[in-house]
């Protein structure tokens, strides 16, 4: 198992280099000169331009610039935002908890609803439950996030008045951010109703963001379940006199979860991509909205650093999933 983890850790290095190269090149493919951007409307003298180029290292060749950038990254220096003049890393971590909080809730929603639906559809294959679940899953998967979000806002917030339209907590509450996670901070503040308000604000964005993962998880669970249920050891379990509930819950589920866990891991990337739209629509101050704002402001260091940090998050989550995979599947654990 430890050799397996070490091997997986070593694989991170080439992945990270690939992602950084991609982010770096993409930024330089975008037309426009960063100096013009920094200067804004003002005109700059040629001497000032040259000085700025040296200051930002833009006088060097691209490979050199990449090396300098990566050396700084490894030191934990992701550069400064052109707009706010604050460190990219600091800005990222100021917003990251909001996105994590939303993503965790969205994933919880997707798993708690998607997994049982998938199991049910798989066990009752061909039944009405199966057809309805798969139909809804396909609709959910095909629905554009922004459209789905607007529909839900219209229905739940505007028409029915059940949920707030945007933001993380009601303006009535004000307290210091300790962890950056609104739910935890609300609890820590000790203010009555703060936690409920924060949760209330999370419901709609979490449902919107969790819909696609939910659909994918439900479909994957269903097909894994159907495949596993036809395996020989299921027949053995039934021949042993295991109840139908035990056959599904003990013998089939554990095996069916192997592909499902992989899919859940892959959904994290989709979740972060979806967060960009969801956060923008719900005015959620997370990294998704941060990236969109930076792109409209052409804040190159932020975009580049943001991509790198988001990609690192995805890499880390996938590593965790791979380790988890070994925990569920003994054949992987003993593969060394």
Q: Which residues in this chain contact another protein in the complex, by CB under 8 A? A: 231-233, 235-244, 250-251, 254-255, 328-331, 334
Q: Which is nearer to another protein, 14 or 330 (CB)?
A: 330
Q: Please name every residue paired with 87 in a beta bridge, in sequence order, or none if there are none.
A: 80
Least distance (Å) from another protein to the CB of residue 131? 16
Q: Which is nearer to another protein, 86 or 127 (CB)?
A: 127
Q: Which is nearer to another protein, 76 or 244 (CB)?
A: 244
Least distance (Å) from another protein to the CB of residue 258? 8
Q: Please name every residue paired with 80 in a beta bridge, in sequence order, or none if there are none.
A: 87
Least distance (Å) from another protein to the CB of residue 222? 17
Least distance (Å) from another protein to the CB of residue 223? 18
Q: Is 180 left (phi over 0), alpha (psi -120 to 50) or beta?
A: left
Q: Which is nearer to another protein, 48 or 235 (CB)?
A: 235
Between CA 323 and CA 321 the distance in angstroms is: 5
**Sign of the alpha-carbon dihedral angle for 261, 263, 269, 274:** negative
Per the CB < 8 A criterion, the answer to whether 121 and 129 are in contact is yes
Tokens of 191: 């203010």
Phi, psi of 84 (to 5 degrees): -95, -15
Q: Which is nearer to another protein, 242 or 270 (CB)?
A: 242
Least distance (Å) from another protein to the CB of residue 227? 13
DSSP letter at 157 equals: I
Between CA 89 and CA 73 the distance in angstroms is: 10
Tokens of 226: 């159907």
């Amino acid at each position: 198992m430890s050799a397996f983890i070490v091997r997986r850790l070593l694989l991170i290095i080439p992945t990270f280099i690939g992602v950084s190269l991609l982010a770096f090149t993409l930024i330089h493919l975008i037309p426009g000169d960063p100096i013009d951007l920094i200067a804004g409307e003002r005109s700059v003298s040629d001497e000032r331009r040259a000085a700025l180029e040296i200051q930002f290292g833009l006088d060097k060749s691209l490979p050199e610039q990449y090396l300098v950038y990566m050396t700084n990254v490894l030191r934990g220096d992701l550069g400064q935002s052109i707009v706010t003049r604050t460190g990219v890393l600091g800005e990222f971590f100021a917003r990251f908890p909001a996105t994590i909080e939303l993503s965790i809730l969205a994933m919880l929603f997707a798993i708690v609803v998607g997994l049982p639906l998938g199991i049910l559809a798989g066990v009752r294959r061909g039944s009405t439950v199966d057809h309805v679940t798969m139909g809804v899953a396909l609709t959910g998967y095909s629905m554009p996030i922004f459209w789905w979000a607007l529909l839900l806002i219209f229905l739940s917030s505007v028409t029915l008045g059940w949920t707030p339209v945007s933001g993380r907590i009601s303006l009535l509450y004000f307290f210091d951010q300790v962890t950056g996670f609104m739910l935890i901070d609300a609890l820590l503040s000790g203010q009555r109703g703060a936690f409920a308000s924060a949760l209330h604000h999370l419901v709609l964005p979490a449902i919107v963001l969790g819909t696609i993962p939910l659909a994918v998880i439900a479909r994957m669970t269903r097909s894994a379940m159907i495949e596993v249920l036809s395996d020989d050891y299921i027949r053995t379990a039934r021949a042993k006199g295991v109840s139908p509930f035990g056959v599904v819950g003990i013998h089939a589920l554990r095996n069916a979860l192997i592909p499902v866990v992989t899919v859940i891991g892959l959904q994290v990337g989709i979740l972060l991509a979806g967060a960009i739209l969801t956060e923008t629509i719900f005015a959620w101050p997370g990294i998704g909205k941060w990236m969109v704002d930076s792109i409209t402001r052409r804040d190159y260091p932020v975009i580049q650093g943001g991509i790198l940090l988001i990609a690192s998050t995805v890499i880390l989550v996938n590593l965790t999933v791979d380790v988890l995979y070994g925990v569920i599947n003994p054949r992987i654990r003993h593969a060394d």
